[in-house]
Amino acid sequence: MNMRGKNAIITGGGRGLGRAVALVLANEGVNVAITGRNEENLKTTVDEIQKLGVKAEYAVFSMDNEGSVKEGITSLVERLGGIDILVNNAGIGDFGSIEEMSSETWEQVIKTNLFGVYYAAKAVYPFMKANNEGDIVNVASTAGLKGGPNMSAYAASKAAVISLSQSMMAEWRKQNIRVITLTPSTIASDMSIQGGLTDGNPDKVLQPEDFAEWVRDILKMNRRALIANGSIFSTNP
């Protein structure tokens, strides 16, 4: 499918996986709006997107507040002139034992990773419903498929995103909205390198552009085809 002229919002688009997706979609001729908390990163990425000849917008808000998410998303839809694609990518990876992690941190991970996805999807749904078409990519993680030590909050948040996304898919496919649940394994980024999950060696470890090309290819499938869920791994990290 040709994506030229479509409009996409990518949460957490100022760096990491979200930035890579923004640039790859812009290369396909998609107008892109990105969100995040760090305005400097957003501005730099918007400049890079504009150089690819498409419209680029940004909004600064935190995913853990429903009012801010709704206001920010609605303003971006207006500035883009419509919405075809939402990539629910923003997330935090706080790691630590159940005993040592504070309840506040635990709650913040759930608020950002789970509620953020819910708030953003809920904000775009009325527009997609009115169009009777749309694509929503929810970025979960292999951590959501199986919990492990020192990742209780992150794994629980991502397990809940998988479940939320499956319910969304079942409800919204009736409006021709494709809801795609992704469970990537470790990819080189601030989150995974600073979290000590990988050294990010590009000879072996998945890079943000691998993830972005995968998202692009899924979205380019004919509209009658829905890749409901998928995982991606480094071949031999």
Ligand X SMILES: NC(=O)c1ccc[n+]([C@@H]2O[C@H](COP(=O)([O-])OP(=O)(O)OC[C@H]3O[C@@H](n4cnc5c(N)ncnc54)[C@H](OP(=O)(O)O)[C@@H]3O)[C@@H](O)[C@H]2O)c1
Question: In the set 24, 36, 153, 178, which binds ligand X (CB under 6 A)?
Answer: 36
Is 37 a binder of ligand X (CB under 6 A)? yes
Structure-block tokens of residue 145: 């498929």
d(CA 199, CA 195): 10
Per-residue burial over 26-47, b = 16 or more CB atoms within 10 Å of its CB, e = otherwise: bbbebbbbbbbeeeebbeebbe
Closest CB to ligand X among residues 31, 186: 186
Q: Which residues contact 118 (CB under 8 A, 6 or more apart)?
A: 164
Closest CB to ligand X among residues 5, 237: 237
Closest CB to ligand X among residues 134, 184: 184
Check 58, 119, 125, 154 and give the catalytic one.
154
Residues 31 and 46 sit within 8 Å (Cβ to Cβ): no
Q: Which residues contact 157 (CB under 8 A, 6 or more apart)?
A: 91, 109, 110, 112, 113, 114, 144
Question: What is the pattern of x (binds ligand X, CB under 6 A) and - over residues 165-204?
Answer: -------------------x-xx-xxxx------------
Per DSSP, 144 falls in state: G
Q: Is 154 designated active site?
A: yes
Question: What is the pattern of x (binds ligand X, CB under 6 A) and - over residues 47-86?
Answer: ---------------xxx----------------------
Is 17 a binder of ligand X (CB under 6 A)? yes
Is 15 a binder of ligand X (CB under 6 A)? yes
What residues act catalytically?
154
